[in-house]
């Protein structure tokens, strides 16, 4: 008693041909199964027994769903868990968050031979928009970093000589005892941010970041000894939210995204800084922290570090006597009152005055300078007088020529009548 195929399904099967069976729809990441080709009869039989659980309901949709964010952390995978365990948080493009439990081998020897067992926990969380980032906070609101393992090259020659110590860090820097009996899971998508309490999986805080646009980048960073969520929106706004309360701290219009390079490379760092590629060869650095702006001059690099000149070492008497190199001494340093003490009144004391050779030389130099300046002034005066004489003679010559020319004109027109002109 199988399900009857529609005409559209029959036409699709006929187009594939008898030798090419249809393929099953891709399964969810939570199912951890590989799709295999099946026949038409098996497809009809499996259509009734397909699971409709919440963990795979999003995969059965017609729209395409992809994984957009991954995050490893030690958390409570299920509601009834009493201790943290390694987990993988998976975020999809439709706002679904799946938690996968990771079962690691206990010893290092088994780690090389046995694989890591991955199983879905059944926990599904939902948000608006594609998931961008995850973060984990302890019960005090301190950021918990993911566990890590130091990588070493197995073919390195140094490892064979030294005692190999490869230890997997099974727990985060903040252990489960330090974090208390619960955690805060911070999840941010393109539209909103949510804070869940673990292991109860209760949504404590939710904040709709934008309705008309979407987020390009979101990071959980430290700022002024606290943790906050920094977001960069497609309309150019930079926003920060407090954690875990998701209270808005900053919303400023910085730069509209006109280049896809900015959208692909924008990232936030700690202490209120951000970076992005403004060109293929230039990195733009910005800050949204007032403390960082005030200390910007102190953080600029220097070409050199000024160091005070060290004091010269005291040379011994024998080293100075037989060293063979001369040394300059100061008379005031050797025989001055600061070193030898105050002299007796019966001894003569040289008191330099203004009437010495230096004073005479200074006075003589002043007189010579005055005479030189006076002589230069006289030469300039004589030169100006000579120029004045030349001008006077030229004026007299031009006056005589003018008088002579006027007399000739008078003689020419003296005997002529007015009607003869």
Mean pLDDT of the chain: 75
Residue 151 predicted with pLDDT over 50: yes
Spatial separation of the C-alpha atoms in residues 74 and 40, rounded to whole Å = 44
Residue 199 predicted with pLDDT over 80: yes
CATH of segment(s) 67-148+173-262: 2.40.128.630
For 379-407, give the secondary structure using H, E and C.
HHHHHHHHHHHHHHHHHHHHHHHHHHHHH
pLDDT at 227: 92
Of the ranges 58-72, 178-192, 261-275, 286-300, the best mean pLDDT one:
261-275
| 29-33, 66-70, 284-288: least confidently modelled range | 29-33
Confidence of residue 345 (pLDDT cuts 50, 70, 90): low
What's the pLDDT tens digit per position in 109-137? 677 778 888 888 888 999 999 999 999 99
Percent of the chain with pLDDT over 70: 67
pLDDT at 272: 87
What's the pLDDT tens digit per position in 286-332? 888 888 888 877 777 777 888 888 887 776 666 666 655 556 666 77
Sheet holding 202-208, edge to edge: 143-144, 131-137, 183-189, 192-198, 202-208
Residue 170 predicted with pLDDT over 60: no
Q: What's the rounded mean pLDDT across residues 354-367?
A: 70
Helices (H), 102-232: 108-113, 157-161, 176-179
What's the pLDDT tens digit per position in 39-63? 444 444 444 344 444 444 554 554 5
- Give the total residue count for the chain: 421
For 277-332, give the secondary structure using H, E and C.
EEECCEEEEEECCHHHHHCCCCCCCCCCCCCCCCCCCCCCHHHHHHCCCCCCCCHH
Q: Which residue has the higher pLDDT, 178 or 64?
A: 64
CATH 2.40.128.630 intervals, the chain: 67-148+173-262
């Amino acid at each position: 008693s199988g399900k009857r195929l529609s005409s559209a399904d029959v036409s699709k099967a006929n187009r594939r041909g008898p030798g090419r069976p249809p393929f099953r729809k891709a399964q969810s990441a939570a199912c951890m199964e590989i799709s295999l080709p099946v026949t038409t009869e098996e497809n009809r039989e499996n259509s009734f027994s397909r699971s409709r659980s919440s963990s795979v309901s999003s995969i059965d949709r017609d729209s395409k769903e992809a994984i957009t964010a991954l995050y490893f952390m030690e958390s409570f995978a299920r509601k009834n868990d009493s201790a943290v365990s390694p987990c993988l948080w998976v975020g999809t493009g439709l706002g679904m968050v799946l938690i996968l439990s990771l079962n690691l081998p206990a010893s290092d020897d088994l780690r090389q031979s046995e694989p890591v067992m991955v199983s879905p926990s059944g926990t599904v969380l939902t948000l608006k928009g594609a998931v961008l980032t995850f973060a984990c906070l302890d019960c005090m609101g301190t950021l918990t970093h993911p566990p890590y393992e130091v990588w070493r090259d197995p073919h390195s020659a140094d490892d064979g000589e030294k005692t190999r110590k490869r230890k997997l860090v099974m727990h985060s820097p903040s252990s489960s005892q330090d974090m208390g009996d619960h955690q805060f899971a911070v999840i941010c998508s393109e539209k909103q941010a949510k804070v869940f309490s673990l292991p109860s999986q209760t949504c404590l805080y939710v904040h709709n970041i934008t309705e008309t646009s979407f987020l390009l980048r979101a990071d959980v960073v430290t700022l002024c000894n606290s943790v906050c969520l920094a977001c960069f929106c497609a309309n150019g706004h930079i926003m920060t939210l407090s954690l875990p309360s998701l209270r808005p701290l900053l919303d400023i219009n910085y730069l509209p995204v006109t280049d896809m390079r900015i959208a692909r490379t924008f990232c936030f760092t700690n202490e209120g800084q951000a970076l992005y590629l403004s060109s293929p060869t230039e990195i733009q650095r910005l800050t949204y922290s007032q403390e960082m702006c005030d200390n910007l001059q102190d953080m600029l690099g220097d070409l050199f570090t000024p160091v005070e000149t060290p004091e010269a070492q005291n040379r011994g008497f024998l080293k100075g006597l037989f060293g063979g190199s001369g040394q300059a001494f100061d008379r005031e340093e050797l025989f001055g009152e600061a070193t030898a003490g105050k002299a007796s009144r019966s001894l003569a004391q040289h008191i330099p005055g203004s009437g010495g050779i230096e004073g005479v030389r200074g006075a003589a130099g002043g007189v010579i300078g005055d005479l030189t300046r006076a002589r230069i002034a006289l030469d300039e005066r004589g030169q100006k007088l000579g120029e004045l004489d030349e001008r006077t003679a030229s004026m007299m010559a031009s006056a005589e020529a003018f008088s002579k020319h006027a007399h000739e004109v008078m003689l020419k027109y003296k005997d002529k009548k007015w009607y003869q002109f």
